[in-house]
Amino acid sequence: MSKRKRSPSTDKKLKDGRGQGIGIDYKPWVTIQDVPSLGRVTRLKGIKIPRQFEFLSDLERNYFYLLEYSDLVIDIREQYPLLPIEETIVIADELGIKHPTNLKTGKPVEMTTDFLITVNKDQQNQHLARTLKYKDDLMDERVLEKFEIERVYWERQDVDWGIVTELEIPKDMAHNIAFVHGYSDLSVIEGFEEVTPYEVDDMSIYFIKKLLAEDQTVKQLVKEFERDFGMVVGCGLSLFKYLVITRAIEIDLLDKLDVNQIQQIKAVRRDFSEKVRAI
C-alpha cells in the first residue's frame, strides 16, 4: 500500500512528540483533552517514572498502580500508537475487518494500545503490550475485531500482547496502592516540610520497630509516634504510607489495609532492617 498523506491532527501530534520517547520523556498519543466526553478519566504523577500519566478509565488507572508497584516494571507508556497507520490498515484489509475511522470524516484513524510496558526479567528488557477492557465489553463483536487488528500488529512486532480485564486486577491491592501512592516524597507532605532526610530515617526506624512488635494497631501506633516526636496529627499515618510505597516495609497488599488492625510485616528493606537490629 502506498504511503497515505497524514492528517493535520496526526502531523501536529507527531510534531508535539506524541507517542514518542521513553521514560520521563514519553508523551501519550491520546490525552484527556482529546476525549472530553469521557467521564472516568484520571491524571497521576508517576513515582518510578516521574511524569504525568493520563488514564481514560478506572480500569487503566488501577492497572497502572500494579505496574508502578512491581519491581519488574521499568517503563510504562500509556495510550501507545500503532504506527505507521498503513500497517494497521493492511492488517485490517487482510483480516477483512473495517479499520477504525474518524466519525466525522470517515477516514482511518490511528489505533492505540492502552499500555506498552517494559520489564526487566533475568537482566533482560522485554516489551509487553496490554489492552484493558471490562469483561462484559468482550461480548461486543466490533470490540473483538479491533483487538484482532491490534493482536496481529504486535505479533508482527514480536511483542507479547494480551487483554487485561477487571478479573485480573486485584481490587483491594489497587486501592491499597492508591491509598499510599502520593507519599513517596515526604518533603511535600504537611508536617514534614522542615524534616531532614536523616530525621525521616530515625522516624522510620522507630516506626518499623514498633510495627515489628505486632502489639499495636496502626491507628494506635501513629498516635504514639506523633506524641513522641511532637508531630501534628496526620504525620504518623503519612509516615506509614511512606514506608509502604517506598517498599521500606512489605505487607500483604492483597488484603484491604485497615489502620484499626495490627499489620504483619512480610519483609523490611535491608538498609532499615540492619538499623533496626542494631538498636
Which secondary-structure segment (H or E) carries 137?
Answer: none
Determine whether 271 is exposed, middle or buried from the number of CB atoms within 10 Å of its CB (0-12, 13-18, 19+): exposed
pLDDT tens string 198-249:
999 999 999 999 999 988 999 999 999 999 999 999 999 999 999 999 999 9
pLDDT above 80: residue 40: no
For residues 88 and 73, give the distance between their C-alpha atoms in angstroms, rounded to a whole number.
27
pTM exceeds 0.85 for this model: yes
pLDDT of residue 3: 59
Residue pair 234/225 in contact (Cβ under 8 Å)? The answer is no
Give the residue among 69, 54, 169, 67 at the shortest CA–CA distance from 118. Answer: 67
To the nearest whole number, what is the mean pLDDT of the chain?
Answer: 93
Cβ neighbours of residue 270 under 8 Å, at least 6 residues apart? none
Q: Please write down the HEC assignment for all residues of 231-273.
A: CCCCHHHHHHHHHHHCCCEEECCCCCCCCCCCCCEEEECHHHH
Which secondary-structure segment (H or E) carries 9?
Answer: helix 8-15
AA letter at 103: L
pLDDT of residue 269: 85
Label residue 275 by pLDDT band (50, 70, 90): low
pLDDT above 90: residue 20: yes
pLDDT tens string 46-99:
999 999 999 999 999 999 999 999 999 999 999 999 999 999 999 999 999 999
Give the residue among 52, 78, 81 at the shortest CA–CA distance from 64. Answer: 78
The one-character DSSP state at 165 is -
